[in-house]
Amino acid sequence: MRVDGRVVNVLTDAGQERVPLSATVSGIPDDGTIATGDWLVIEDGIAVRVLPRRSQLMRRAAGVATSGQVVAANIDLVFVTVALGVPPRLRRIERALAMAWSSGAAPVVLLTKSDLSADIEADLRAARSVSGGTEVIAVNASGAGLARLREILLEGLVAVLIGPSGTGKSTLVNRLSGNEALATAEVRADGKGRHTTTHRELIELPGGGLIIDTPGTRELGLWDAGAGIDEVFGDLTEVAAQCRFRNCKHEREPGCAVRAAAADDPTVLARLESKRKLEREQERLDAAKDMRAQAERRRELRRRTRAMRQQSP
């Protein structure tokens, strides 16, 4: 339910327990960490093994190093939160959906603070225009949209909330749980959110579902989102398949179906540029990961060579 260094909060048949990690935990995933949502084997009050994950939401870790960071494990749903009061940031929604689809879970877009919207129907249409068929729900602290969320988050399912600070993630968890399980704070005077959640925590809900609250992030760095990008922009891919030339760049080529579609819908070109931007970011990341893997292989080769020389008579 929560990781605090070498001690974890776990949910068992007997209820919640706080247990230490074994000095050597087996089954540690490739990212090298234990995450909120992981299933653990507990022996004599100590966590000794991590079971294989069936899904995981990954982001690029902050900093210069090319490394991935798991946000949540074994999730069924990813709730992408977008605060209203200002027009929805469509490019941010596309980015979050690409990451969500790549996790192995199903995304849902939540337009939070819907009572602050000047035109909720227009905001819903805008979000749906980039959602690729993903369900979009307007919610607020007064209870709007919560009934639909409870219908989705069935008993035994695990959801994770992602989005910037100030989108009302902790408030939403409190409303769903029926108590003030998590601390909340007012948005700052400049409209930016305050960081009230400093760790990832899984909360049990009355209906049997579970939800993971996460710290707000200004921008989610892609990690392995290639499949998710294809999913989010599937409509563009279908249109591009009708272009006269298979290698059409959708610029000035004759018979370009994408440009023809843009004549009727100007948002097509904005989505095309967004898709290209995400693809370029993923390509750069993949190249950096390849270079890192090569460097690690060279280090391992040097280590083995030194060990062999030391063993030689």
Q: Which tens digit of pLDDT belongs to each residue from 35-84?
A: 999 999 999 999 999 999 999 999 988 766 677 889 999 999 999 999 99
Q: What is the pLDDT of residue 30?
A: 85
Residue 60 has a pLDDT of 87
Domain-wise residue ranges, the chain? 2-53, 70-213, 233-297
> Would you state the pLDDT for residue 217?
67
The CATH number of 70-213 is which of 3.90.1560.10, 3.40.50.300, 3.40.50.1950, 3.30.1370.100? 3.40.50.300
Q: What is the pLDDT of residue 229?
A: 94
The whole-number pLDDT of residue 65 equals 65
Under-70 pLDDT residues of the chain: 63-65, 180-198, 216-219, 293, 312-313
Q: Are 20 and 40 in contact (CB under 8 A)?
A: no
Q: In the prediction, which pLDDT does 245 show?
A: 92
According to the model, what pLDDT value does residue 137 have? 97
State the pLDDT at residue 123: 96
**pLDDT computed for residue 298 by the predictor:** 80
pLDDT for the residue numbered 85: 93
What is the CATH topology of the domain spanning 2-53? SH3 type barrels. (2.30.30)
> Is residue 235 within 8 Å of 221, Cβ to Cβ?
no
* pLDDT of amino acid 179: 77
pLDDT at position 313 is 62
Domain 233-297 has what CATH class? mainly alpha
Identify the pLDDT of residue 198: 59
CA atoms lying within 13 Å on the CB side of residue 200: 26
pLDDT for 301 equals 76
Alpha-carbon distance of 72 to 211, in angstroms, equals 10
Tokens of 91: 């490019």
Residue 196 has what pLDDT?
52
